[in-house]
Amino acid sequence: MPKKVVSGNYAAAYAAKHARVEVVAAYPITPQTSIIEKIAEFIANGEVENLQYVPVESEHSAMAACIGASATGARAFTATSAQGLALMHEMLHWAAGARLPVVMVDVNRAMAPPWSVWDDQTDSLAQRDTGWLQFYAENNQEVYDGVLMAFKIGEHEKVNLPVMVVESAFILSHTYDVVDMPEQEEIDEFLPPRKPLYTLTDFENPFSVGALGTPADYYEFRYKIAKAMEEAKKVIKEVGKEFGERFGRDYSQMIELYKTDDAEIVFMGMGSLMGTVKEAVDILRSEGYKVGAAKVRWFRPFPREELYELAKNVEGIAVLDRNFSFGQEGILFNEAKGVLYNTDAKPIMKNYIVGLGGRDITVNDVKAIAKNMKEIIQKGKLDREIEWYHLKR
């Protein structure tokens, strides 16, 4: 297949098609609608076989239908955003607890009120405790690759957990970029048909799934999920490496490091804003700053070891959070700081809250942050720990 110029949403739809998804149950919400519209177009043009599309009546039912489909052994896919993701929260727990590898694309959008359709990471990060793996895409290519890898990682026999591929509203979902899509045969080799952990069509040995767990047993069930998450780190690295060998783009690192080898200051963040940060890093380097960028690809499972390896060798980390947990700090900052507490890596870490609700983050903003971090490192202490960058009023 030649390279296609597609939006992030269309890239996700193509990835679902190439992954030979069997059941799609979704409910429309801006800015996810074009994913489902594209999939419906595939069905209308006869480009997919064995794909059942269920136009459900709410996001909660969408996740419930995907769970039912996945329990029957089918490959299930859905997509949603902000309010819809919040509505399906109960069923996110259910998918992880029932160990079903549903794949969902979440288009990061700000939570209402006030109503906003623009980019904000709070919606997906608010689901970090549900047991879903989370992959944050920087550009449309990563959305496409992420969805393909999500199926392989989630369905791995050691994992069996659902995976969320997160992209930015409008910045990725509706802007067009070049995406390289491999041939269907190559993808079929990478992603063979699913071998489910259990299936409800097994009438010889009927299973019952998800029964009541008394205090004597519940604890061990949850430990199994925690263990699967840990195993997932190894599986992510293996699959990322295989992806690189087959298709030329390596994803074996859970944190993508950009010019961090000799960096004093590292910008850490997730998603599309890191594209801007990488541009700014190039410009800052030409101006003599020793800066680098660390893009956290996988937020769950959190890459503790890789973060430690990075933090050992830098003096300052500026964490850019396009999200906020009220009553605490930016979520990525909070988690990264917590991971490093019991280690001997103690860089100066500062939290910059940027771009909530889709406010633009520009190269100049990153340069200003770099200047601020440089001053802090020279002084040796923080001016303030959390900075709401450029609060207007």
Partner 1 sequence: MAESPFKADIERVQKEYSEKMTPGAIVYIPGSSVVNKTGGWRVFMPQFNREKCIRCFMCYTLCPEPAIYLDEESYPVFDYDYCKGCGICANECPTKAIEMVRESK
Partner 2 sequence: MVPLEEVKKMELPADVKKKLTLPFEEHFYAGHTACQGCGAALGLRYVLKAYGGKAIFTIPACCSTIIAGPWPYSALNAPLFHTAFETTGAVISGIEAALKAKGYKVKGEDGIMVVGWAGDGGTADIGLQALSGFLERGHDALYIMYDNEAYMNTGIQRSSSTPYGAWTTNTPGGKKHFLEQRPKKKVIDIVIAHKPAYAATASVAYPEDFMKKLKKAQTIKGPAFIQLFAPCPTGWRAPTDKTIELARLAVQTAYFPLFEYENGKYKINMPSPNKEPKPIEEFIKLQGRFKYMTKEDMEILQEWVLREWDELKKKAEIFG
Residue 66 interacting with partner 2 (CB under 8 A): yes
Question: Does residue 338 sit in helix, strand or coil?
Answer: helix
3-state secondary structure of 384: coil
Beta bridge partners of 295: 256, 269
When the beta carbons of 193 and 213 are compared against partner 1, the nearer one is 213
Neighbour-count burial of 348, counting CB atoms closer than 10 A to its CB (0-12 exposed, 13-18 middle, 19+ buried): middle
Alpha-carbon distance of 226 to 128, in angstroms, equals: 13
Least distance (Å) from partner 2 to the CB of residue 187? Answer: 18
**Residue 39 Cβ, how far from partner 2 at the closest point, in Å?**
13
Q: What are the tokens at 354?
A: 């940027």
What does the chain come to in residues? 393
Q: Does 25 bind partner 2 (CB under 8 A)?
A: yes
> From the list partner 1, partner 2, none, which binds 51 (C-beta under 5 to 8 Å, kind-based)?
partner 2
Core vs surface per residue 36-47: b (16+ CB within 10 A) or e: bebbbebeeeee
Q: Comparing C-alpha atoms, which of 179, 37, 164 is closest to residue 105?
A: 164
- Side chain identity at residue 216, one-letter code: A
Euclidean distance between the first and final Cα of the chain, in Å? 50
Q: Which stretch binds partner 2 (CB under 8 A): 130-138, 148-156, 170-178, 203-211?
A: 203-211
- What mask of x and - would describe binding to partner 2 in positions 151 to 190, judged by CB under 8 A? ----------------------------------------
C-alpha 87 chain-centroid distance: 19
Rounded to the nearest whole angstrom, what is the least distance from the CB of residue 92 to partner 2 in the complex?
11
Please tell me whether residue 70 binds partner 2 under the rule CB under 8 A. Answer: yes
Between 214 and 378, CB nearer to partner 2 = 214
For partner 1, the closer of residues 98 and 336 by Cβ is 98
Q: Which of 10, 14, 77, 94 binds partner 2 (CB under 8 A)?
A: 94
224 binds, options partner 1, partner 2, none, Cβ within 5 to 8 A by partner type:
partner 1
The listed partner (partner 1, partner 2, none) that binds 13, CB under 5 to 8 Å by sort, is none
User: Is position 65 an interface residue for partner 2 (rule: CB under 8 A)?
Assistant: yes
76 vs 236 by CB, closer to partner 2? 76
Q: Is 149 in the site for partner 2 (CB under 8 A)?
A: no
Before 303, cis peptide (omega within 30)?
no
Which of partner 2, partner 1, none is residue 85 near (CB under 5 to 8 Å by kind)? none
Residue 306 C-beta-side C-alpha neighbours within 13 Å: 20
For residue 97, the partner it binds in partner 2, partner 1, none, with Cβ less than 5 to 8 A by kind, is: partner 1
User: Binding residue for partner 2 (CB under 8 A) from 11, 12, 23, 274?
Assistant: 23
Q: Are 101 and 147 in contact (CB under 8 A)?
A: no
Q: What are phi and psi of 73, to 5 degrees?
A: 100, 0
Which residues make up the interface to partner 1 (CB under 8 A)? Answer: 97-100, 160, 197-198, 205-211, 213, 217, 220-221, 224, 228
